[in-house]
Amino acid sequence: MERLGYIGLGIMGRGMAANLIAAGHPLTVWNRTPSKAEGLNANLVDSPQDVGPASDIVFVCVSDTPDVEEVVFGDYGVIHGMTFGDVLVDHSTISPVATAGFAARAAELGVAWIDAPVSGGSEGAERGTLAVMAGGDTVALERVRPLMETYSSSIVHVGDEPGSGQMVKAVNQILVVLNQLAASEALMLADAAGLDLQKTLSAVEGGAAGSWMLSNRGPQMIERDWSPGFTIDLQQKDLRLVLEAADEVGATLPGTALVFQLYRSLQTRGLGSEGNHALVKALENLTGNELAG
């Protein structure tokens, strides 16, 4: 059995790690806040570097590009404990350009890098239904695929070049936030017209207007439940990466830029820790009307 390590037990990583453990894979783990490892039947170590010698395959799921660089290549980074033939799977959502550079640095030490950002929210991580978009070497990916299947229902190899997974995640995030904006506007109209919101949702979600965001976040919006499957702050980090990637390739994304500014208005109100479906609050602020108020 491959020896496995996991770095990052946040809103996504903990559920993924728990599914690996439930499938019978012992884990060596590290997290910046050790208390987040409580309740996991895992070996908690003192630094990312300590994960390396205990692992043949290391999974990383942290917040942003600098965090990946720190836990992998920093003074106490995991790469210092890894050896030739090991694999690092990065489930974080970070810069595609930086990913290519990280993969090249790892390759110099004989470590294969798979960039494998995920989609599906904390619910998907817990239920094992995440979608994985993976870039990197085919052989290395096939080696880790059975492990990723413990927490995902879709694993697509989108390209051999490291960073291709991150670029597909950028595409994914555009669809996520514009679907969320559409759901927000639609429910605001239904509410203003005096319609029953739950019946309206049931009527439209089974047709061409249906989407994951509408079916999963619509009920939360109606109940005014802002608990996060994915926070506004993390969504904004992803949108910054999307807009940077668009600038690099010369793509025009006016809708994405609009949502970025709407989320920023919520951050300035101190709402960054709420779920990304709280985007509707930006529309409420514009109209002066509260959804399901």
As a three-state string, the secondary structure of 89-110 is: EECCCCCHHHHHHHHHHHHCCC
Q: Helix 164-192 vs helix 232-249: angle between axes, to the nearest 10 degrees?
A: 120
E strands, 191-272, are none
Mean pLDDT of the chain: 97
Quick one: 106 and 230 in the same domain? no
pLDDT at 90: 98
Residue 5, C-beta contacts closer than 8 angstroms, at least 6 positions apart: 27, 28, 29, 30, 51, 52, 54, 55, 57, 58, 59, 78
Distance CA 99, CA 203 (A): 43
Provide the domain limits for residue 176: 167-287
pLDDT at 108: 98
Quick one: 57 and 74 in the same domain? yes
pLDDT at 22 > cutoff 90? yes
Quick one: 266 and 180 in the same domain? yes
Residue 19 lies in a domain: yes
The proportion of the chain whose per-residue pLDDT surpasses 70, expressed as a percent, equals 100
Q: Provide the pLDDT confidence category of residue 177 given band limits of 50, 70 and 90.
A: very high
Question: Of the candidates 161, 184, 215, which is a domain's last residue?
Answer: 161
pLDDT at 262: 98
pLDDT at 293 > cutoff 90? no
Quick one: 157 and 59 in the same domain? yes
Average pLDDT, integer, range 30-56? 97
Quick one: 146 and 35 in the same domain? yes
pLDDT at 161: 95
E strands, 27-91, are 27-30, 43-44, 57-60, 87-90
> Which pLDDT tens digit goes with each residue over 118-144?
999 999 999 999 999 999 999 999 999
pLDDT at 1 > cutoff 90? no
User: Is 36 marked active-site?
Assistant: no
Quick one: 145 and 15 in the same domain? yes
Quick one: 130 and 178 in the same domain? no
Question: Of the candidates 161, 188, 212, which is a domain's last residue?
Answer: 161
pLDDT at 6: 98
pLDDT at 93 > cutoff 90? yes
Distance CA 224, CA 51 (A): 41
- Domain of 136, CATH number, reads 3.40.50.720
Q: Which amino acid is at 126?
A: E
Contact 63, 92 (CB under 8 A): yes
> Which one from 169, 199, 237, 281 is the annotated catalytic residue?
169
Quick one: 180 and 279 in the same domain? yes
pLDDT at 67 > cutoff 90? yes
Question: Tokens 């203003």 belong to which residue?
Answer: 192
Quick one: 141 and 233 in the same domain? no
- Domain of 261, CATH number, reads 1.10.1040.10
pLDDT at 174: 98
Quick one: 122 and 149 in the same domain? yes
Question: Of the candidates 161, 186, 219, which is a domain's last residue?
Answer: 161
Residue 60 lies in a domain: yes
Residue 103 lies in a domain: yes
Tally of domains within the chain: 2
3-state secondary structure of 268: coil
Residue 138 lies in a domain: yes
Q: How many CB atoms lie within 10 A of CB 274?
A: 20
Residue 293 lies in a domain: no
Quick one: 187 and 134 in the same domain? no
Dig out the tokens for 208 from the structure.
Answer: 């061409």
> Which pLDDT tens digit goes with each residue over 212-265?
999 999 999 999 999 999 999 999 999 999 999 999 999 999 999 999 999 999
Residue 215 lies in a domain: yes
Average pLDDT, integer, range 39-67? 97
